[in-house]
Amino acid sequence: MDLRLAQSLAVPAQTKIAMIIMDGLGGLPLEPGGKTELETARTPNLDALAAQSALGLTVPVGPGITPGSGPGHLAIFGYDPIEYEIGRGALEALGADFELGPDDVAARGNFCSVDAEGVLADRRAGRIPTEASRKLAELVRTIRIDGAEFFEETVKEHRFAFVMRGPGLGDALTDTDPHTTGVAPLPVRAVEPGSEKAARLANRFVERARKLLAGQHPANMILLRGFAGFPRVPSYRELYGLRAAAIAVNGMYRGVARSVGMTVLDVDGEPPAAEFATLEQNWGEFDFFYLHIKKTDTAGEDGDFAGKVRAIEEVDALMPRLMALGPDVVIVSGDHSSPALLRSHSWHPVPTLLYSRFVCADGIAEFGERACARGSLGVLPAKDVLPMALANAQRLTKFGA
Amino acid sequence: MDLRLAQSLAVPAQTKIAMIIMDGLGGLPLEPGGKTELETARTPNLDALAAQSALGLTVPVGPGITPGSGPGHLAIFGYDPIEYEIGRGALEALGADFELGPDDVAARGNFCSVDAEGVLADRRAGRIPTEASRKLAELVRTIRIDGAEFFEETVKEHRFAFVMRGPGLGDALTDTDPHTTGVAPLPVRAVEPGSEKAARLANRFVERARKLLAGQHPANMILLRGFAGFPRVPSYRELYGLRAAAIAVNGMYRGVARSVGMTVLDVDGEPPAAEFATLEQNWGEFDFFYLHIKKTDTAGEDGDFAGKVRAIEEVDALMPRLMALGPDVVIVSGDHSSPALLRSHSWHPVPTLLYSRFVCADGIAEFGERACARGSLGVLPAKDVLPMALANAQRLTKFGA
């Protein structure tokens, strides 16, 4: 559905929407004929909620397309994930809690190791500890070049977010990371004329960093990749007049939420319980809550079927705390599937539940892949869930006379 | 889904995909409350495969749209059948095993009968025997006109494929066939300026043919219709790096497969058994196999319910030979429906089965219209099946970070 149509119909209301995203929720049976992780999990609260909900299977990007976390989230947030792609560098910066702005071009940075001839020996500098990485970032932060400001935010180990800020910087730039060892890092090239200034500045920065790090070991050089500017995604406030909050622990998800204008709340304690506590504490302040569960995806990517089952059961046990708040609309879904069988993100459509007083409930008292396949939402683009949530929250008026 | 998105994500793999297309597969009960042809057929092998598959109903062109064989096949091959229409003339030439090229404009030709005043008496010249038609084609082949080469390939009875080859020939041309008798054949007109040269050449050719055939009886003139140039459909190799083979007996299907760059294999013996033998013999040489079953459609168009049931059962009995090859992904579907009740192609969505080790199987142990309506693929555009097949064959990588 067209974002602008929903925008044109948005009306104010006092209702509250909660979106619980279990990352990589969809799964597969380990053996043919078996049950998936979600079907295996004991989920009395989600099953009871399913009975009062409309169920379906969401397709984040397209049939057969395995989504990254960025497009997966944009889709369930209601955006066309192809139209509103967030570049890798921008995601990294947002994920590092960097306040990315419209004059910024970001990239993923690595500290790396080069030999005396400048040839790349280790793209990750032996995965130096995060603390060592922070010290190197401080060093690199001393670089000053006319024409732009430069920022480095340590992410983890050898990884950092790199940001150039200045007028007239394009982001159509090639990587310095050759994605292999035994060759020298590459110069940044502008793919479009509007990015030539940015290319010059990035190359000067890398050259300064090389000199500054020359005496360091093992991290004596940097690599930059995935240059991307500020994502131009219209916010929930702008589109629907929603005060939206994000409850997520990991930088990437906090970053995507920030890119769509959500207020990112701090979580004090161990997720997911602490995330539900944050939800309770902030319930009065916002109209829309996105709550992100990371463990389901981590277990899926580790091939840990039982761990993913446990992570789902942990969320199920917390669901009464959400329901006690009296939400008008609840969405439970994922940003993509991550079957333990595949040990990775996958293309499989994602079990999705839409609860409200005004949903025509399917009466299927089970939340699982095959149960959702029988649901009245059918197989639907993930981006179509949000307009239905808004409608159920009585936040969309009639189209046409 | 956008073809170019799947293309941008394609990665190599050692997996094999088999697509079994029973032409006109979908059907209708003869009596309300009854079973369709597919539901009536005893199909233990397809039913067992269905239990391990995801099921759905594919819509080849759009809701309510009855597809011709060209668009029906393009859709299940993964192309938007409206964007990538293959013109009738091009289909006829491809179907006649003519090696159509980019400088060619093709048309469907008929030998016909005109009276002394040139008025059309029989559009099909009494359906002259194929042998007589071949002799007339030899005669017409002697025509030489500066500016283009001309080809005529006998198809069957009065029908032939006509091709003009030369630089700068457009295909925006009107038919000479008035689609009625009692009037004279029409001149070819160019609908766009770029096709004026082609119109002039076609008209001169028709005039020469008229003189050449004047003494013949009953076929003393030709009609041309459905002018169309070389279809510009990107190939499986170009899009996905797939070595694709087609196993089909009838010219039309061999032609469509050739137009999308498939290698068309020869079938030695009686279909469908000989087609499965061809599959076995060539299994090592290709990544993707399209195997076409004609009998289902022929029976459907003849109104022969029992014959269509038998044709389906015959394919079911051959399925173990495919499965013994260990395909990674199997699609069983049709290019459109052809209910015996309607004696024609129809708009009904087509029962479709997608099998792989990584599909989240619906556990529905039946292959039929109503069973597929309950499947997790839902009702889906036929063109969305191929990207899912590629995903299940682990031939598509992740989109976005």
Could you read off the pLDDT of A305-328 as tens digits, one per residue? 999 999 999 999 999 999 999 999
Residues B179 and B240 in one domain: no
CA-based nearest residue in chain B for residue A29? B360
A31, A38, A39, A65: best mutation site toward chain B, by most B Cβ within 10 Å? A65
- Mean pLDDT value of segment A362-375: 97
% of chain A surpassing 90 pLDDT: 92
Residues B63 and B96 in one domain: no
Residues A343 and A365 in one domain: yes
Quick one: tokens of A397? 């008026």
- Mean pLDDT value of segment A362-374: 97
What rounded mean pLDDT belongs to chain B? 96
Please report, for residues A362, B134, B146, the alpha-carbon distance to residue A387 in angstroms, rounded to integers and kept in the order given: 19, 63, 63
Residues A74 and A95 in one domain: no
Residue among A344, A348, A378 whose CB faces B360 most closely: A348
Could you read off the pLDDT of B378-387 as tens digits, one per residue? 999 999 999 9
What residues in B contact A370, CB-CB < 8 Å?
360, 362-363, 376
Residue among B377, B385, B391 whose CB faces A379 most closely: B377
Pick the last residue of a domain from A211, A229, A247: A229
Please report, for residues A226, B252, B348, B382, the alpha-carbon distance to residue B290 in angstroms, rounded to integers and kept in the order given: 39, 14, 22, 15
Residues A320 and A348 in one domain: yes
Q: Give, for B205, the enclosing helix (H) or strand (E).
A: helix B196-213
Q: Per-residue confidence at B201, pLDDT binned at 50, 70, 90?
A: very high
Residues B152 and B266 in one domain: no
Question: Is residue A274 assigned to a domain?
Answer: yes
Could you list the residue range(s) of the whole structural domain that residue A176 is in? Answer: 90-229
Question: Is residue A398 assigned to a domain?
Answer: no
Of B143, B164, B163, the residue nearest B153 (C-alpha):
B163
Measure the CA–CA gap between B27 and A59, rounded to whole angstroms: 29
Quick one: tokens of B294? 């004609």
Q: Is A21 helix (H, G, I), strand (E, B) or coil?
A: strand
pLDDT of residue B1: 58
ipTM associated with this complex: 0.88
Could you read off the pLDDT of A181-238 as tens digits, one per residue? 999 999 999 999 999 999 999 999 999 999 999 999 999 999 999 999 988 899 999 9
Could you read off the pLDDT of A239-249 as tens digits, one per residue? 999 999 999 99
Cβ <8 Å between B378 and A374: no
Question: Is residue B47 assigned to a domain?
Answer: yes
Number of residues in chain B: 401
Residues A207 and A282 in one domain: no
Sign of CA dihedral B35, B41, B47, B50: negative
Measure the CA–CA gap between A394 and A11, rounded to whole angstroms: 8
Residue among A29, A88, A341 whose CB faces B401 most closely: A88
Residues B282 and B224 in one domain: no
pLDDT of residue A1: 60
Q: How far is CA B297 from the centre of its chain?
A: 12
DSSP string computed for A337-369: B--TTTTS-B---EEEEEEETTS--------SH
pLDDT of residue B3: 87
Kindly tell me if the per-residue pLDDT of A84 is higher than 80.
yes
Cβ <8 Å between A346 and B358: yes
Measure the CA–CA gap between B283 and B297, rounded to whole angstroms: 26
Residue among A66, A91, A378 whose CB faces B399 most closely: A66
Of A302, A338, A300, the residue nearest A66 (C-alpha):
A338
Could you read off the pLDDT of A104-139 as tens digits, one per residue? 999 999 999 999 999 999 999 999 999 999 999 999
Q: How would you class B31 by CB atoms within 10 Å of its CB: exposed for 0-12, middle for 13-18, buried for 19 or more?
A: exposed
Cβ <8 Å between A65 and B399: yes
User: CATH no. for residue A313?
Assistant: 3.40.720.10
Could you read off the pLDDT of B164-179 as tens digits, one per residue? 999 999 999 999 999 9
pLDDT of residue B250: 85
Q: Per-residue confidence at A252, pLDDT binned at 50, 70, 90?
A: confident
Quote the Cα angle for A190-A69-A53, to 5°. 145
Kindly tell me if the per-residue pLDDT of B125 is higher than 70.
yes
- Mean pLDDT value of segment B143-164: 96
pLDDT of residue A230: 87
Residues A55 and A147 in one domain: no
Tokens 């319930």 locate to: A283
Question: Is residue B397 assigned to a domain?
Answer: no
Quick one: tokens of A69? 């976390």
Question: Is residue B339 assigned to a domain?
Answer: yes
**A–B: how many Cβ contacts below 8 A?**
107
Kindly tell me if the per-residue pLDDT of B206 is higher than 80.
yes
Could you read off the pLDDT of B301-321 as tens digits, one per residue? 999 999 999 999 999 999 999
% of chain A surpassing 70 pLDDT: 100
Sign of CA dihedral B211, B215, B216, B220: positive
- Mean pLDDT value of segment A85-97: 87
Cβ <8 Å between B396 and A347: yes
pLDDT of residue A200: 97
Pick the last residue of a domain from A194, A229, A264: A229
Separation in Å, CA of A134 to nearest CA in chain B: 24
Kindly tell me if the per-residue pLDDT of B266 is higher than 80.
yes
Q: A261 or A350: whose pLDDT is higher? A: A350
What rounded mean pLDDT belongs to chain A? 96
Question: Is residue B401 assigned to a domain?
Answer: no
Of B302, B324, B298, B330, the residue nearest B311 (C-alpha):
B298
Residues A173 and A280 in one domain: no
Could you read off the pLDDT of A19-64 as tens digits, one per residue? 999 999 999 999 999 999 999 999 999 999 999 999 999 999 999 9
Number of residues in chain A: 401
Cβ distance B353 to B53 under 8 Å?
Answer: yes
Cβ <8 Å between A32 and B9: no
CA-based nearest residue in chain B for residue A368? B360
Measure the CA–CA gap between B312 and B310, rounded to whole angstroms: 5
Question: Is residue B399 assigned to a domain?
Answer: no
Of A345, A388, A353, the residue nearest A61 (C-alpha):
A345
Please report, for residues A140, A221, A227, the alpha-carbon distance to residue A207 in angstroms, rounded to integers and kept in the order given: 11, 9, 17
Quick one: tokens of A370? 């095959």
- The predicted model scores a pTM of 0.89
Residues B71 and B107 in one domain: no
- Mean pLDDT value of segment A163-179: 95
A85, A347, A362, A370: best mutation site toward chain B, by most B Cβ within 10 Å? A347
Q: How many domains does chain A have?
A: 2
Pick the last residue of a domain from B210, B229, B248: B229
Helices (H) and strands (E) in chain A, counts: 14, 13
Residues B163 and B260 in one domain: no
If interface means Cβ-Cβ distance under 8 Å, which residues of chain A face chain B?
A: 26, 28-29, 32-33, 36, 57, 61-72, 81-82, 85-86, 88, 91, 226, 339, 341-342, 344-349, 369-370, 373-374, 378-379
Question: Is residue A401 assigned to a domain?
Answer: no
Measure the CA–CA gap between A349 and A340, rounded to whole angstroms: 15
Cβ <8 Å between B400 and A71: yes
**A329-333: strand order across its sheet:** A263-265, A244-247, A288-293, A17-22, A329-333, A350-356, A53-59, A378-381
pLDDT of residue A85: 85
Helices within A214-284 (DSSP H only): 236-240, 251-259, 273-282
pLDDT of residue A199: 97
Please report, for residues A200, A315, B132, B149, the alpha-carbon distance to residue A372 in angstroms, rounded to integers and kept in the order given: 52, 18, 62, 60
Residue among B377, B379, B399 whose CB faces A61 most closely: B399
